[in-house]
Amino acid sequence: MASILASRQVSQAIRRNIVSLPVRLHSTSAVNRATEDHEPKFLQAVGMFFDEAAKHSNASAETLKHIKSTDSVLSVTFPMEKDGKTVMIRGYRSQHSRHRLPCKGGIRFASEVDLQEVEALSALMTYKCAVVDVPFGGGKGGIMINPKDWTESELERITRRFTLELCQKNFIGPGVDVPAPDVGTGPREMGWIADTYRNFNPQDVNGAACVTGKALSLGGVRGRTEATGLGVYYGIREFLSFPEVQKKIDHHGKVQDSSVIIQGFGNVGYWAAKFFEANGARVTGIVEYDAAVYSEQGLNIEHLAQWRKEHGTFRGFPDAKIIDSPMDLLEAECDVLIPAALERQIGLRNAHKIRAKLIGEAANGPVTPGADAVLRQNGKLIVPDLLLNAGGVCVSYFEWAKNLSHLRFGRMNKRWDERSKEQLLNLVEGNAGRPLSEVERRQMIHGAEEHELVYSGLEDTMIVACNETRQTANAKNIDYRTAAMANSINKIAASLAGSGSIFTHA
Q: Which residues are catalytic?
A: 140
Any known ligand binding at 295?
no
Pairing of strands 85-95, 137-143: antiparallel
Q: Which distant-in-sequence residues (6+ apart) come within 8 Å of 225 by Cβ?
A: 267, 271
Distance CA(413)–CA(177), nearest Å, equals: 31
The long-range contacts involving 418-422, CB below 8 angstroms and separated by at least 24 positions, are 418/445, 418/446, 418/447, 421/445, 421/447
Any known ligand binding at 247?
no
Any known ligand binding at 228?
yes
Nearest to 308 by CA among 300, 231, 37: 300
Nearest to 290 by CA among 318, 260, 327: 327
Q: Are the C-beta atoms of 209 and 174 separated by less than 8 Å?
A: yes
b or e along 240-262 (b: 16 or more beta carbons within 10 Å of the residue's beta carbon)? bebeebeeebebebebeebbbbb
Any known ligand binding at 396?
yes
Any known ligand binding at 201?
no
Q: Which distant-in-sequence residues (6+ apart) come within 8 Å of 65 by Cβ?
A: none
Phi, psi angles (nearest 5°) of residue 261: -115, 135
Distance CA(286)–CA(409), nearest Å, equals: 35
- Say how many C-beta atoms besides its own lie within 10 A of residue 150's C-beta: 18
Distance CA(340)–CA(306), nearest Å, equals: 19
Binding-site positions for NAD(+): 228, 267
Binding-site positions for substrate: 104, 128, 396
Binding-site positions: 104, 128, 228, 267, 396
